[in-house]
Structure 1
Amino acid sequence: MIRERLNLFDDLSNQKAFFIDMDGVINKGFTLIPGAKEFVEKLKKGRYRFLFLTNNSYFTPGELRRKLLDMGIEVEVDNFYTSAMATASFIKYQKPGASAYVIGGKGLKTELESAGIKLTSSNPDYVVVGETEEYDYSRITEATLLIEEGAKFLATNPDITGPTPRGPVPACGALVAPIERVTGVRAYFLGKPNPIMMYWARKKLKVHTRNSFMIGDRMDTDIVGGLEAGMTCCLVLSGVTSMMDLARYPYQPDYIFESIADINPDTILSKWDRPR
């Protein structure tokens, strides 16, 4: 009996795990949201497993770690999971040893190569698009022709815009649109709200859906993605979504908080354990 109890305690699938969006939840640009650092310290002190879950495929986990460190939050490289990582995991699972033509930044290319995916423009299995500064007519044309020749079309995330200090700028969804229009082929997006990203993230932490919490500021990516993955969803009002916006959605979060500062990881209950 004692051995069984010890095994239950050591089983990570029975412990709470937190999947946290970054922009609008932890930070706005290069400024921390009040209480974010303290929340992360609570996670570390309580030895909870957690990942920062971001749709941005441009940056590597190392670059994201340095960004948070510059703002005062110290975590490990392994505490990040990006849409680039989800894309690499998906391709590796679907077709080990595959090849891809990539329009994307360092973060995407690094993850694909680490997964054993060959980057090439010669008869690739996939065309993959992510956030990048290297986007021009010749690359759009090459991607279009390769898809028409049989390459499958993937993209890291459906976000049309991304935040910058000066305002919104085109993100992956906007870069994909011209290629979709010309080829008539819709890209398969691997980032949020696709629950497959949540699946690979949970697999990385080796935790169960029942004890997984998704914390985000967007109803159309974080919350619906967590909902469809079976997670307990926590909406924070420090980013994109306001209370007035909630009435427009046919689905609702399990919890609503003003900011991440109001979430206590020790006492929050999974939706599966809350009194009904």
Structure 2
Amino acid sequence: MTREIRSWLSDMDGVLVHEGTALPGAADFVGALQTAGRPFLVLTNNSIFTPRDLCARLAATGIDVPEKAIWTSALATAQFLTDQMPGGSAHVIGEAGLTTALHEAGYTLTAAQPDFVVLGETRTYSFEAITQAIRLIQGGARFIATNPDVTGPSAEGDVPATGAVAAMISAATGRKPYFVGKPNPMMIRSALNRIDAHSETTVMVGDRMDTDVVAGIEAGLRTYLVLTGSTRATDVERFPFRPTAVLDSVADLIDLV
């Protein structure tokens, strides 16, 4: 028998918003979660912004998500590093979302013999920064990356993202990073811990089969694929796994809250 849905995880881009515009049913869906008192988190692989930044961006589209209900790959990475080596040190290539998360986790940010090189998303990758990361990894620093996405969206088209830069560093060092963000189920499990939820009574809502759905399945969650983002209905058959259901948008989930 299918257990009651008690808590929710939802991707952000392609599920709730697209290029700064709320998607159909998104505001009502989030409102229904809050009215019902359901624990929920909005997940994103984007490590550039802090939860406060993302809260403001969502509010500008008419979607009211509390800051505490946003879980980024930067926060998941900081949690992972804290579990691995509390109070460690890291050299970071990334923006405020990542550096703030690591600071708040008690990490020291330094280029002097760091325990880790942590690569996140940024719009200002430089040859000098990448060279420094390569030399630190060659010197013994462990290599961590917030997510494996090779491209990210922009108004002009795709731009290189964390996975693409990680590949460059890996080619130069022979060392592959540990990716914390989706599709690693580590991100889902850290989110479950954040809201004290159980996998058997939690669902994952996403727009991508290769990140959201597979991560949810591997973490033991029911999964709902919405067709407002990257994945088309005709794409689903290409994958060797299936979501619990395929829906037009989150509007179709409101009655399940």
Tell me which interval the TM-score lies in, with the shorter structure as reference length: over 0.9
Q: Is the CA contact (8 Å cut-off) linking 2:28 and 2:254 kept in structure 1?
A: no
- Give the superposition deviation at 1:135: 1.4
Task: State the distance in 1 between where 2:63 and 2:253 align.
Answer: 17
Is the 8 Å Cα contact of residues 146 and 180 (structure 2) preserved in structure 1?
Answer: yes
Q: Give 1:46's aligned residue.
A: 36
* Superposition RMSD in Å: 1.1
Q: Residue 210 of structure 1: SS of its match in structure 2?
A: helix
- Give the whole-Å Cα distance in 2 for the aligned partners of 1:106 and 1:215: 27
Moved over 6 A (4+): none
- Extract unaligned runs of 5+ from structure 1: 1-13, 268-276
Give the TM-score of the pair, scaled to structure 2. Answer: 0.96
Q: Deviations over 1:153-196 (max 9, x none)?
A: 00000001112232221111112111010001111100001011
Match of 1:193 among 145, 166, 183: 183
3-state SS of the aligned residue for 2:56?
A: helix
**Equivalences, count:** 254
For 1:85, the equivalent position in structure 2 comes to 75
Partner residue of 2:137?
A: 147
Task: Flag structure 2 segments of 5+ consecutive residues without an equivalent.
Answer: none
CA distance in 1, matches of 2:236, 2:81: 35
2:108 counterpart of 1:118 = yes
Say if 1:103 and 1:134, in contact at 8 Å, map to a contact too: no
**What is the aligned partner in structure 1 of residue 8 from structure 2?**
18
- Asked whether the equivalents of residues 43 and 265 of structure 1 are also in contact (C-alpha less than 8 Å), the reply is no
Identity over aligned pairs, percent: 47
The reply to whether residue 73 of structure 1 matches residue 73 of structure 2 is no
**Distance in 2 between the 1:59 and 1:24 partners?**
17
Matched, 1:182 2:172: yes
| 3-state SS in 1 of match to 2:114 | coil
Residues 127-146 of structure 1: CA deviation (Å, up to 9, x unaligned):
00001133111111111011
Residue deviations 1:83-104 (CA, integer Å, cap 9, x gap): 0000000000000111000000
Aligned position for 1:208 = 198
Q: Which secondary structure state, in structure 2, belongs to the residue aligned with residue 20 of structure 1?
A: strand
Q: Structure 2 residue aligned with 1:237, among 227, 240, 247?
A: 227
17, 20, 23: which one aligns with 1:33: 23
Match of 2:211? 221
Mapped partners of 2:157, 2:127: distance in 1: 25
3-state secondary structure, aligned to 2:132: helix
Shift of 1:71: 0.6
State TM-score, norm by structure 1.
Answer: 0.90
SS in 2 for 1:263: helix
Q: Give the letter aligned to residue 266 of structure 1.
A: L
* Higher-Rg member (1/2): 1
